[in-house]
Amino acid sequence: MAARQQLQTGTVLDGFTIGEKIHSGGMASLWRVTKPGIDIPIVMKVPTILDGEDATIIVGFEMEAMILPRLSGVHVPKCLAVKSIAEQPYVVMEYIQGTNLLSLLDEAPLAPARVAQIGAKIAAALVDLHRQNVLHLDIKPSNIMLRESGEAALIDFGLSRHLELPDLLEEEFHVPMGTGPYISPEQVLHNRTDPRSDIFSLGVLLYHFATKVRPWGVPKFNRALRARLWRDPVPPRKLNPEVPPWLQEIILRCLEPQAANRYPTAAQLLFDLQHPEEVRLTERAERMAASGFWTTMRRRFRSAAMDTEQVQQLEERTVTTAPIVLAAVDLSEGMEQLAVALRREAARVLHFVPGARLACVNVLKLNRIGLNYSRDEQGRNIHVTRLVELKEWARPLGLGTGEVTFHVLESPDPGASLIDFAKSNNVDQILICARGNSNLRRYLGSISSKVVAEAPCTVTVVRVQASANEIIEELDTLEQAGMP
C-alpha cells in the first residue's frame, strides 16, 4: 500500500493544488482544490480514517466512490476524480455554491407556501436520482444544497444504494443505517431497497420546516427508532395552526409507517407540492391529535408482521439476483500458495457460473480478551491495509464494478464470522483454503472444518499439499504440546 501524503494548504496531489480546509468532521474532511483546465469551483473529500471502529467510514467511502461517478445532472455534484483507498483516498467533486438547507432550520416554522416550494425542489431531485437507480437513504437538511440557480442538489452518498450495484453496507453491517430523526421504517428493518424511504425522510424534513419540531425527536437507541413503526406524530396543525389541511395531508402521507400507504413515487409527491389545490384530502388533513392507545397497540403488533414481511421480501429479491460466491481469502504470512490456488479456483467457478458475483472476504481476528490494536508497526490502519491487499489479490481476475466486492470483517471467531456473512447475504457457494491434513488441526479443529460443517451453502475447500518441512514442524508442535 502506497504511503499517504500529508494534506495541507499548498500540497499538490495528482495535479490538484490543496487550498483551505472548509470542513472537518467525523466521517470526512473537505478541502478547496484547484487544477489547471478545471474552471468550476471544486472540493476534495477525504475520508477520516482513525484508530478504532471506523469500518463504516471505509465502506461508506467505497460506496460513494462507486456511486457518485455514475450520477449526472444538476441535482448532484459533478464528480471529477476518484482515488482508491489503496493510495490516498479521495473524491474530487464540484463545489456547489448556494444555501445549505441546514441554515434554514432556524427560520422555522416557515410559511406553508415556502415549505411546499422547498419540498418540491427536493422531490424533483429525488425524481432524478431514482431514475438513475440510486436511493439516497440519508435525506436531511445538511445533505441538501439549494443552488444559486434554484435547484436542489443532494450531497453525501456514503449511505446510498445503487440498485444495480452490490450494497456493501447491507452486506457487512446488520444495524439500521441512516440519521436517527430522518430514518425510514424500512431502514430500521434493514431494508435498503425501497425508494419510498427517501419520501419518508423528506416528510420528516417538511414536518420540521412546518412546525419547528422533529416528528420523533432525536432518537438515540434502536428501541426509540422502532417507535415510528407504530406511533404516528402529533399532527402538524396541532403544533402550528397556520399549516393548511392540504400541507398536513401531504406531510402525514409521506410519514405513513407502511411504505404502501405513502406516495408511490417522488414524482407524484412533486405534483401535489406544486398543485396544492388539487391535493385529495382524507382524514389525515383534519387530524388534531395523534392516534390513541388501542390504535397504537394494534400497529405495534402489526409491526412484528412487517418485520417478517421485510425479511421475506429481501429473500425473494435475493433469489432473482445473480448467485454470490464467497472467497474466504487468508492473507496471513505463509499462505501465499493457497491464496494463488484459491484465486485459480475462483476464476474456474466464475467461468462456469455466468453472472455470478465474487465476494472477497478476509477476517481480521480480534482478541477475545485484552487490547485490539487497529494499527500495525508502521502505523498503518490494519483494516485499510487488509482491504487493499484483498483488492490486490483479486486484481488478476480482471473483474469489473458490480462483479466483485471486498469485505474485511472483524471478529474473534473467523469461522463464525464467515458463516454469519454467508447466511445474512444468501451466499450460494463458499471457497475457502485449508492446508494438507494436519494432526494439530484435527486435534484443535480448524476454520475450514467449522465452515464446512455449519455453512448454509456449498463449500469448496482448496488445498495445497503440505511439504515435508511443514509435516515435521507439525509433529514438533504436537510433541512440544504433549499431544498424541
**Can you give the CATH number for the domain in which 214 is found?**
1.10.510.10
Same domain, 230 and 296: yes
Residue whose C-alpha is closest to residue 127's, from 79, 189, 195: 195
406 phi/psi in degrees, rounded to 5:
-130, 135
Same domain, 221 and 351: no
Same domain, 331 and 223: no
Asked if the model's pLDDT at residue 172 lies above 80, the reply is yes
CA distance linking residue 316 with residue 135, whole number of Å:
20
- 61 domain residue, yes or no: yes
Element (H, E) at 43: strand 42-47
357, 325 in Cβ contact below 8 A?
yes
- 1 domain residue, yes or no: no
Return the bridge partners of 358, or none: 325, 404
* CB count in 10 Å sphere of residue 288: 10
Instruction: Tell me the chain's radius of gyration from C-alpha atoms.
Output: 26
Same domain, 160 and 27: no
Same domain, 221 and 109: yes
- 246 domain residue, yes or no: yes
Amino acid letter at 36? P
Asked if the model's pLDDT at residue 30 lies above 50, the reply is yes
- 405 domain residue, yes or no: yes
* CB count in 10 Å sphere of residue 273: 24
Asked if the model's pLDDT at residue 308 lies above 90, the reply is no
- 3 domain residue, yes or no: no
Return the bridge partners of 429, or none: 325, 458
Asked if the model's pLDDT at residue 307 lies above 70, the reply is no
Same domain, 171 and 297: yes
C-alpha cell at 157: 452518498
**Average pLDDT score over the chain:** 85
Q: What is the CATH classification number for the domain harbouring 89?
A: 3.30.200.20
pLDDT of residue 463: 82
Asked if the model's pLDDT at residue 304 lies above 70, the reply is no
58, 150 in Cβ contact below 8 A?
no
The mean pLDDT of 369-387, rounded to a whole number, is 71
Return the bridge partners of 135, or none: 161
Domain, as residue range, for 453: 322-481
Q: Which of 40, 75, 94 is the last residue of a domain?
A: 94
pLDDT of residue 354: 78
- The share of the chain scoring above pLDDT 90, in percent, equals 58
For the purposes of burial, counting CB atoms within 10 Å of the CB of 335, is it exposed (0-12), middle (13-18) or buried (19 or more)?
Answer: middle
Asked if the model's pLDDT at residue 368 lies above 60, the reply is no
Residue that has been written with the C-alpha cell 391535493 in this structure: 279
Tally of domains within the chain: 3
The mean pLDDT of 275-282, rounded to a whole number, is 94
Same domain, 194 and 248: yes
Same domain, 56 and 103: no
Same domain, 54 and 201: no
Q: Which of 94, 112, 144 is the last residue of a domain?
A: 94
Same domain, 477 and 366: yes
Same domain, 313 and 228: yes
Query: What confidence category does residue 320 fall into, taking pLDDT thresholds of 50, 70 and 90?
Result: very low
Q: What is the CATH classification number for the domain harbouring 349?
A: 3.40.50.620
- 346 domain residue, yes or no: yes
- 4 domain residue, yes or no: no
- 469 domain residue, yes or no: yes
The mean pLDDT of 79-97, rounded to a whole number, is 91
Q: Which of 62, 94, 126 is the last residue of a domain?
A: 94
Same domain, 23 and 139: no
Element (H, E) at 90: strand 90-94
Angle made by CA atoms 60, 61, 63, in degrees to the nearest 5? 65
pLDDT of residue 54: 62
Residue that has been written with the C-alpha cell 469551483 in this structure: 41
